[in-house]
Amino acid sequence: QEKLDMSMYPVESIRNFSIIAHVDHGKSTLADRLLEITGTISKTDHNKQVLDKLQVERERGITVKAQSASLFYNHEGINYLLNLIDTPGHVDFSYEVSRSLSACQGVILVVDANEGIQAQTVANFYLAFEAQLSIIPVINKIDLKNADPERVEKQIEKLFDIPTDECIRISAKQGTNVEKVLQKVIEKIPPPQCNTADPLKALVFDSTFDHYRGVVANIALFGGEIAKGHKIVSAHTKKRYEVNEVGILTPNEQPTHKLYAGQVGYLIAGMKEVAEAQIGDTLFLYKQPVEPLPGFKSVKPMVFAGMYPIDQTEYNNLRSALERLTLNDSSVTVHRDSSLALGAGWRLGFLGLLHMEVFHQRLEQEYNMSVILTAPTVPYKAVLSSAKLIKEYGKDQITIINPAQFPDKLSVSEYLEPTVLGTIVTPHEYIGKIITLCQDRRAVQKDMLYIDENRVMLKYLFPLNEIVVDFYDALKSLSSGYASFDYEDAGYQSADLIKMDILLNGNPVEELATIIHNDKAHAAGKLLCERLKETIPRQLFEIAIQAAIGKKIIARETLKAYRKNVVAKCYGGDITRRMKLLKRQAEGKRLMRKIGNVEVPRDAFIRVLKRETDK
């Protein structure tokens, strides 16, 4: 491959921008058209979401990873270098969006002409607005017969204070007006503020693991230049590396001689260990230290789930697969964990359920790992009141990820549960149903705003554990798929929480314990007992399956014993013969129940712990 010379693109002719929008508003399709117009990829009919490279993304038709590409474009006789980053739209991946914005000076905000502004549009707009980036509003899908660009322009003006004449109407699918977007990018978005003469300063904003070449880091240069053979140091680990290759992504890797300030590209420097390429790290030249860049806010996981190998011999393979995948998806947090029934494993923290599913799917597809995922839980807190416990933990507030660590009510002054501020954007005819749904989930209404005559924006404060499993699905089915939902962290509030234990013949089973709100305990306890009754195999003695809160039993199911027909040989004769045989059998069963212990088979655990979707 011929190496490109990047020195022909001075800082003034570089534009770094990303595309943000709600799910399915056409970000990746717009990215395809931009790649075609600039000649980066050839025009064919096969170009559908070229930047969605992962198998998960192609199957689900969603973007999960932010992907970058460099475009060359000649505008009024000057050659420009445009670095484009295509971002995901789901709320679970908003961390990807905020990271991508750190390498940009402007954004293209895409809004669907048919759907109008939706919840994630609002959230992503504020991310860009807080980062003080210039925003180019684009109204997409004007080729649809129900498209109403005028209405959408009014919504944009009302919510974001952007004048209607700034909006560009395009159809990314057919390529209408897309050229205009490129010209607007060059006029509106400022070039990066940096200088090639400064010492090298590069931000690692993404990284992947390659089996042959080690870690491939995506970098944005905020100063200086970098080339093969340079000695560089990581500000985070203080380790030295020699650069093996630098280049740009035109979606595929294209090696170059050097990269200069303001450009975005990739770098391979023989980082063998996964932990070395920390996202948000600053790289600089050896013996020329610089002030490290601020990096990224560490992300707060919203949902925790246990992950265990199906077979314990796979533990080490799964560990290396997890390390490599968490390098690529840095928003997952990992803690070691072990359980009596499932063996050694991990407690993983995710940003949401979709994130958890996608992570699980990627483990299976990219690393051929089959794993058990337990039911998702959220992190609770307890404010301790007993001096002994405070001394033991060294602080008066503890975070509870695993129900087994739930402290007793006597030693706690209050329990706290995480809350989120949810934004729901919906057509107004569904308001009644949605408000009822939110009240069922213990939500508190904060705000209600009409965006235009038939769109409403509702703001609610939700307890996180109420929306974590199936709120999104319930919302979609109530509103025929029109309502959209987005949430952000809103801190902790005190709640009446209890730990519900499951007892089998009086013995607690620790893997099935759950932390739950007092109001919901009875229903959940009954459901879990019924579930267990179906999955535990019958024994020769009776099994009592009970849900208990402390000493109080709130639900019970009885699994009957297998029994032999001991009265088959009696016919006629006195009733006392019959009673004697049955009494003898009952004695035997009672004895057996005393000494028999119930082994819950592993697949019964898996079936019960798998989601509670089939209510």
Q: What is the pLDDT of residue 2?
A: 67
pLDDT for res 553: 92
3-state secondary structure 298-344: CCCCCEEEEEEECCHHHHHHHHHHHHHHHHHCCCCEEEEEEECCCEE
Q: Strand, helix or coil at 99? A: helix
What are φ and ψ of residue 270, in 5° steps? 60, 35
pLDDT score, position 615: 40
Q: What pLDDT, on the 0 to 100 scale, is given for residue 328? A: 74
Q: Give the residue ranges of the chain where pLDDT is below 70.
A: 1-2, 40, 42-49, 51, 274-275, 295-298, 341, 601-603, 605-607, 609-615
DSSP characters over 529-559 = HHHHHHHSPP-SS-EEEEEEETTEEEEEEEE
Q: Given this model, what pLDDT does residue 611 score?
A: 47
pLDDT tens-digit readout, 297-338: 667 777 888 888 888 888 888 888 888 888 777 778 888 887
Question: Which domains occur in the chain, in start order?
Answer: 6-188 (3.40.50.300), 201-285 (2.40.30.10), 303-373 (3.30.70.870), 380-495 (3.30.70.240), 499-609 (3.30.70.2570)
Q: How many CA atoms lie within 13 A of 222 on its CB side?
A: 19
Predicted local confidence at residue 402, as pLDDT: 76
Report pLDDT for 320.
86
Residue 191 three-state SS: coil
Structure token pair of residue 474: 């319930």
Report the pLDDT value the prediction gives residue 146, as an integer from 0 to 100: 83
CA dist 602 to 371, 478, 506, Å?
13, 36, 20
Q: What is the pLDDT of residue 613?
A: 45
Query: Could you read off the pLDDT of 174-215 as tens digits, one per residue?
Result: 888 888 888 888 888 888 888 778 888 888 887 877 778 878
Say how far apart CA 126 and CA 450 lie, in whole Å. 19
CA–CA distances in Å: residue 173 to residues 54, 73, 133: 22, 21, 27
Beta strands at 134-140 and 168-169: parallel, antiparallel or unpaired: parallel
